[in-house]
Every structure is written in C-alpha cells, then in structure tokens.
Amino acid sequence: MSAPGFAQLVEGFFTEWLGTAVKASPNTVASYRDAFSLFVRWASEALGKGPDDVRMRDVTADNVLAFLSHLESARGCAPKTVNCRLAAMKSFCSYAAYRRPDLLGQLKAVRDLPQRKERRREVSYLTPEEAGWVIAACPKGSESELLLSLLYNTGARISEVLGLRVRDVKAVEGGRCHVKLLGKGRKERTLPLWEDVSDMLKSHVSGMALDSGDFLFGGRGTEHLTRSGARHRIDAALAAACVDHPDLAAKRVTAHTFRHSCAMAMLAAGVDIGTVAIWLGHERIDTTHRYVVSDMRLKEEALAKVRREWEVTGRRPYKASKDVLGFLRSL
C-alpha cells in the first residue's frame, strides 16, 4: 500500500484527528481550515503548483516559514494570527508523523519552529458608566441591545454568545435566566443574568418566535450572526454613543472589550480573581477550582456584588494594578 499523500493526510487530519480523536471545537476546526486554505493558495503561487499538486515534500520548515512571512508581509497579519496559522501546521505535522514515519525528521522541523513574539497591548476596557452609554445607544429592544448586554453581563467570548441557542437559556425562580455557554476546549459553564437582561432575552425569544434549537442571533444566509456582523453592530452603537459622549472615540471597543470590562467591574467590586477566572471560563485555573465551577451560589454572590446601575457616584474611579492587567491579558 502506498504512503498517504498530502490530500489524504489533510482529509484524515480534519475528519479523524480533529473531528474524532481530539474532538476539537467548531471554532478550532474553522481556524485550522482557514490556515490550510491559505497555505494551499500560497503554495500554488510561490511554488508554481496547482492546489491538487501540493505534496508532503512541500511541507517543510523552510516553506512554512516562507508562508508565515507571506502572511505578515502580503496580508498584514498580526503575530497572534500568524501564530494561530503556525499552530494549525504543527498540529497537522503531529498527526502526519503517525501516518508517515518516513518523514519524521521533516515534520519535526516544522513542529520545532518558534512562535512569533506578540506585542502586549494595554488592556482596553470600559467603566460601568461607559459600557452603559454604549448599550443605551442601541435601539431600545433591538438585537444589538441584547447582544451587547449579554456580552457585558456574562463577560463571554463573542463565539460563545453567537453560539447560544434557545435551549441554552433556562428560566429560574424570580423570573431571571441562566445561560449555558460552550467555551474553549468544549468546556461548559452556566451563568446567571441580571433581571433586565433576562427580560430582554425572553422578549426577544418570544417576539422572534424562536424554537428550542434556534440560535438566539440568526444570520443572513448563515446559521447565526457572524463575528463581522457583531462587530458592525458594536461599531454602530459606539458611533451613536460618541455623539453625546465624545470621549468614547478614544476607546478601542470590540466584543472582547466587554469581556475585559466585565472582569474589571467584578475586580473593582471586590470579587476575587479566582472567581472571576471561573466566571470567564479561563483555561488556566487551579485544579481545586473544579469543585466550585458548578456552584451557582458562588456565581450569584459574585453577580450581586457588581453594581447593576451604570452611574457610579461618590467613589474614585477604579485603577487597575499591573497584576490585574497581567491577569486580563491572559484571558
């Protein structure tokens, strides 16, 4: 039997390895898929080969380095993005080594390539008052208002919020709701919502006549709202808020900014870093935290410590310490 070629190994990597063996999340699969699409496109141009003519002998450390340089120079990719593409190539080489032991040295050379050094930016976040201005700038009762409210209330990653289905929402005693999020590594966590966000969510589900399996935020021609669609809504809300609050124009506001803002609000309210890490679904938490991850009482207490009102009066503005900023950068 002949040794499997590049096309066969790529197919096996996505179906056998990512899909079955490691059970990679849909976001990881999508990221790796994009990396290989870009690599094949680069190989077609740089090596003068058609997409079907790429061979395993082309997956060398020199070629991967040239591909990464192309991403930086021609596509303007940041080091973080380049490292994501490199991670896809390394993961593929780890799988291919099992199927092609004759290429162990070549594949190991790719796996040994160093990551690009990433520039650590100052953490960007909104104060509770600023977050309120941006959310209030959304049309009342709109999907945008619900989207931004959920991002700030839960501190969830944008992929976690966009992946929410109606069945992930549970009404609890008192009229409030809990939402079940699927995070990195396919780890689930359930978080409580403020009462007004719960009401907003229930009105949205009722008004849109959504079924249990429907996504909360539907897309046009796609299963659910895309990241770019969410970014457009955030940009629109920020632009509207800047009319009355021009100082916001100096802020770099993305979906992840609301995640940082949630964490900063909790830390400013006295919630300990361990609880915040659990709330955000942070991957690097101590093993002992596994005993409290499912404790809804702890999460309810954490939520109760955070002021629901946007205006903070009679207190000096919170200033994060270097240690807190370091923690946030790791999220």
Model pLDDT for residues 184-241, shown as the tens digit of each residue: 777 889 999 999 999 999 999 999 999 999 999 998 888 899 999 999 999 999 999 9
Second-level CATH architecture of 128-329: Orthogonal Bundle (1.10)
Higher pLDDT, 322 or 13: 13
Q: Summarize the confidence of residues 50-60 as an average pLDDT.
A: 91
* Residue type at 76 in one-letter notation: G
Task: Output the CA angle 266-272-276, nearest 5 degrees.
Answer: 55
Q: What's the gap between Cα 253 and its chain centre?
A: 15
Specify the pLDDT at position 212. Answer: 95
Name the pTM for this structure.
0.66
DSSP state of 320: -
Tell me the domain boundaries of the chain: 6-111, 128-329
Orientation angle between helical segments 61-73 and 79-99, nearest 10 degrees: 160
- Summarize pLDDT for 290-329 with one digit per residue, the tens: 334 445 666 777 788 776 665 545 555 555 555 666 666 6
- Cβ of 267: how many Cβ atoms within 10 Å? 19
* Residue type at 146 in one-letter notation: L
The percent of residues above 70 in pLDDT, for the chain, comes to 86
